[in-house]
Amino acid sequence: MDADHDAIWEIFHEVVEAGDTYPFDPQISREDGLAYWFQSSAHTYVAEQNDHVLGAYILRPNWSGPAGHVANAAFMVVQFNFVVSTNESAVRLLQRLGLEIVGTLPGAFRHPTKEYVDVYIMFRSLMDDRAAGASL
């Protein structure tokens, strides 16, 4: 995984620096960005083609204890529990994957050009899928 740090930082920094899809400080340091991406409770993955990292995602419990079975995933394109409403391609992708908007946080994201915009919480139960043997 250490070999992927540079590639992940490049992607992370480019996405976060724009300030229009993630709630990270656009000036986040490399150390803090990678600490988030490689936190001990997360499983970190990369997508590669021809030994070139094209993207990354993490999967971790959203909470511990009785809600530990609820996952949180952050993709360097999409995040399920904090989907900026103006990130229309992410919203459409998640809806195609069967997630629904179950909540809206009005004005929860300060967009760099559109002022305060809504954030969606999106959800899809996997309980029925698990019984049927299906997956996301």
Domain boundaries, the chain: 1-77, 81-136
Q: Report the pLDDT averaged over residues 82-106.
A: 91
Q: Decide if pLDDT at 31 tops 90.
A: yes
89 with 100: CB under 8 angstroms? no
For residue 52, what pLDDT is reported?
Answer: 81
Percent of the chain's residues with pLDDT above 90: 46
Residues 113-128: pLDDT tens digits?
999 999 999 988 767 6
91 with 112: CB under 8 angstroms? no
CA distance 91 to 87: 6
Regarding the domain delimited by 1-77, which CATH topology (the fold level of the hierarchy) does it fall under?
A: Aminopeptidase (3.40.630)
CA distance 117 to 88: 12
